[in-house]
Amino acid sequence: MRIHDGARFVAILGILVGLIITGGCGQQKAGKPQGGPPEVAVVTMQPERASITTELSGRTSAYLIAEVRPQVNGIIQKRLFTEGADVKAGDILYQIDPATYKAAYASAKAALARAEANVTSIRLRAERYKELVAIKAVSRQDYDDTVAALKQAEAEIEAGKAAVESARINLDHTRVTAPIAGRIGRSAVTVGALVTAGQGVAMTTIQEINPIFVDVTQSSASLLRLQRSMASGALKKEDADTAKKVKLILEDGTPYPLEGTLQFRDVTVDPTTGSFILRIVFPNPKGVLLPGMYVRAVLDEGINEQAILAPMQSISRDPKGNPLALIVDNQDKVQQRMLKVERAIGNRWLVSSGLASGDRVIVEGMQKVKPGIPVKVVPFNGEAKATVPQTAKSN
C-alpha cells in the first residue's frame, strides 16, 4: 500500500510540474509582440508648377436688348414673325392699320403742291416790280410787300415739305420693324389690339445672344489676396492674352466648349455684398447659352512655380475644423502638422504653410497610427499618377 501511495504521489507531482511548464510557455507566447510596426503609404512632397485659377458664379445676359414699342397709334392688322425665331434688323414685325396715316400723307403732299403753285406767281411779280421800282413805275412799298410775300410763300413750301416728311415717317411707323438682329421673344399683343405711341408695355423683345455676356461676381477680399500674391512673387502673371481667356461650366456641370474673353472689371464695389462685377463675352453660335442661365466661370489668376499639393485624403480636420496632416520624420516616426490650405486643385489641396519639400505625408493607414509611434513606410500607389490639373477652385 505504501508503494502504491508513493507512486501515485510521484505521478501527481509530475502532472503539476508539466502544467506549470506549459502555462509558463503560454505566457511567454502571449507576451511576445505580434508582427512589426504598422505600415503606412506616403507621398513625398515636391514643389510643382501649378496654374492657379478661380471659379466664380454668375448669370448670362443678352449682348443687346431691344424692347419693341409702337411709335404711332392704331390697331394691329398683322403679326409677321414667329415667336422664338431669329430676326434680322429691319424685318417687319407688326402691321398697324395705315389708313389714317395714308390720308394724312396725301393731305400733306396736296398742301405742299398748293404752296409751290402759289410761289410761282409771286416770284414773277417780284421780278417785274424789281425792274419797275428802278424807273419808279411802282412804289417802293409795293415792291417790298411783294418781296415779303415771296419769302412767306417760300417758307410755306418748306413747312409743307416738313409736313410731308412727318406724315411719311408716321406712315412708315405703321410697319413696326426690328431695330436689331437677334432672337425674338413672345408677342404681348395680338391682331386687333389697340396700341399707342410710347406705351409702357413692350409689344415684344429682341435679344442678341451671339455673342453673349456672362456677368460674375468676385469679392474685393479675393482681389486683394491676389494682388498680395502677385506682389510677393508667389504668383506670376501669365501673358496678357492667356489672362483674358475664360472657361465656362454650365449649370449641369458640363464644360462649355468655347472660351470667352474678359471684357472689364467694374470699378465700384457693392457695399452690401463686398463684391464687384466682371463681364465676360462668350461666342454663342449654336444658342446654347440663353439669357438668365446660371453658370460658373473659370478665370486664370497666375502661375505658382513652387506649389505644394497634398492629396485630399491625406488632410483631416481637428474638432475646430483646422486642417492637419500626419507625416513620417527621418526616424520613421509619425508627427502631426497643422496646415494652412488655400484651395482645391483637382483632387489635391494647395498647401500654403505646414508642409515643405521632402516631407513624407501619410495617405493610407492613418487610422492605425498616432503621433510618436514608429511605422513602416511604403510608397503610395497613386503618387506616380498625380498630375497638376489646369483648373482650380477657390477654397
Q: pLDDT tens across 188-222, in order?
A: 999 999 999 989 999 999 999 999 999 999 888 87
Q: C-alpha cell of 14?
A: 509530475
In whole angstroms, give the CA distance from residue 184 to residue 88. 10
| CB within 8 Å of 178: residues ≥ 6 apart | 66, 68, 87, 88, 89, 90, 91, 93, 184, 206
In whole angstroms, give the CA distance from residue 215 to residue 277. 6
Q: Which residue has better confidence, 91 or 150?
A: 91
- What is the arithmetic mean of pLDDT over 340-346? 85
Share of the chain above pLDDT 70, in %: 84
In whole angstroms, give the CA distance from residue 265 to residue 63. 17
Q: Does 211 sit behind a cis peptide bond, omega within 30 degrees of 0 on the bond before it?
A: yes
14-18, 125-129, 219-223: least confidently modelled range: 14-18
- What is the arithmetic mean of pLDDT over 363-389? 76
217-239: per-residue pLDDT in tens?
988 887 777 677 667 666 666 66
- What is the arithmetic mean of pLDDT over 175-182? 96
- What is the arithmetic mean of pLDDT over 291-307? 88
Checking if the pLDDT of 254 tops 80, the result is yes
Checking if the pLDDT of 252 tops 90, the result is yes
- The pTM of the full predicted model, rounded to 2 decimals, is 0.67
Q: What is the CA radius of gyration of the chain?
A: 45
**Residue 155 carries which side chain, given as an amino acid letter?**
A
Q: pLDDT category, 343, cuts 50, 70, 90?
A: confident
Checking if the pLDDT of 395 tops 50, the result is no
Domain 55-62+208-302 has CATH 2.40.30.170: yes
| CB within 8 Å of 63: residues ≥ 6 apart | 207, 208, 209, 210, 211, 212, 213, 281
24-38, 81-95, 140-154: least confidently modelled range: 24-38
- pLDDT at residue number 163: 95
Give yes or no for a contact between 142 and 129, defined as CB atoms under 8 angstroms apart. yes
Checking if the pLDDT of 107 tops 50, the result is yes
- pLDDT at residue number 270: 86
In whole angstroms, give the CA distance from residue 239 to residue 98. 59
Per the prediction, the chain carries an average pLDDT of 84
- pLDDT at residue number 9: 53
Distance spanning both ends of the chain, measured CA to CA: 93
Checking if the pLDDT of 132 tops 90, the result is no
The DSSP result for 72-105, as a single string, is: S-EEEEEE-S-TT-EE-TT-EEEEE--HHHHHHH
Checking if the pLDDT of 327 tops 80, the result is yes
Q: Which residue has better confidence, 267 or 153?
A: 153
Checking if the pLDDT of 16 tops 90, the result is no
- pLDDT at residue number 394: 47
Checking if the pLDDT of 1 tops 80, the result is no
26-64: per-residue pLDDT in tens?
444 433 445 578 999 999 999 988 888 888 899 999 999
Q: C-alpha cell of 6?
A: 508513493
Backbone torsion region of residue 35, taken as left when φ is above 0, otherwise alpha when ψ lies between -120 and 50, otherwise beta: left
Task: Please report which residue ranges of 173-293 form alpha helices under DSSP H.
Answer: 220-232, 240-244
Q: C-alpha cell of 335?
A: 508627427
Q: How is residue 313 annotated by DSSP?
A: G
- pLDDT at residue number 7: 52
Domain 99-172 has CATH 1.10.540.10: no
Element spanning 123, H or E: helix 99-134
Q: What is 39-52+305-394's CATH number, 2.40.420.20, 3.30.9.10, 3.30.70.1350, 3.40.50.300?
A: 2.40.420.20
- pLDDT at residue number 71: 95
Q: C-alpha cell of 248?
A: 465656362
Give yes or no for a contact between 40 and 365, defined as CB atoms under 8 angstroms apart. yes
Q: Does 285 sit behind a cis peptide bond, omega within 30 degrees of 0 on the bond before it?
A: no
- The domain made up of 70-94+177-201 has a fold known as OB fold (Dihydrolipoamide Acetyltransferase, E2P) (2.40.50)
Checking if the pLDDT of 384 tops 50, the result is no
Displacement of CA 299 from its chain's centroid (Å): 10
- pLDDT at residue number 136: 80
- pLDDT at residue number 231: 74
Q: Beta strand pairing status for 39-44 and 376-379? A: parallel
SS3 226: helix
Checking if the pLDDT of 179 tops 80, the result is yes
What are the sequence ranges of the domains in the chain? 39-52+305-394, 55-62+208-302, 70-94+177-201, 99-172
